[in-house]
Amino acid sequence: MAWTTRFFGQASRVLMAAAESSATITAADSYSIITAAAPKRGRPAGILKSTPVSPALGEFLGVSEISRTNAVKKVWEYIKSNKLQNPANKKEIICDDKLKTIFSGKDKVGFLEIAKLMTQHFIKSK
């Protein structure tokens, strides 16, 4: 690496310039380097792990086990397909009878509340 000193006002700063590389890496080589360094993934954990759900959420989604992320995605698909977002305020969801069963009977829900309200439907496993 080459060292360069520059003066800015009263203080001096030392800057490092990148050395030129004699070897060039092709796109294929960089891909093999990236894939070789990537660790192998095991079973999903955390919010990606499939967990049992409550009967109400299970009936809504049609499954007895699902990951939290997929459950939220399916709820959003339902909201969008049935046009339940408030047209005046897109951050607000107007609940129909089916959504009220999983959102504690609320008529309106903010979009940030969805994940919070769904937490009660996931059964904790030890």
Q: For the chain, which residues make up each domain, given as ranges? A: 2-37, 46-121
Question: Which pLDDT belongs to residue 91?
Answer: 93
Q: With 90 as the cut, is the pLDDT of residue 100 above it?
A: yes
Question: Which pLDDT belongs to residue 15?
Answer: 61
User: Which is more confident, 20 or 78?
Assistant: 78
Q: With 60 as the cut, is the pLDDT of residue 78 above it?
A: yes
CATH architecture of 46-121: Orthogonal Bundle (1.10)
Which amino acid would we find at residue 8?
F
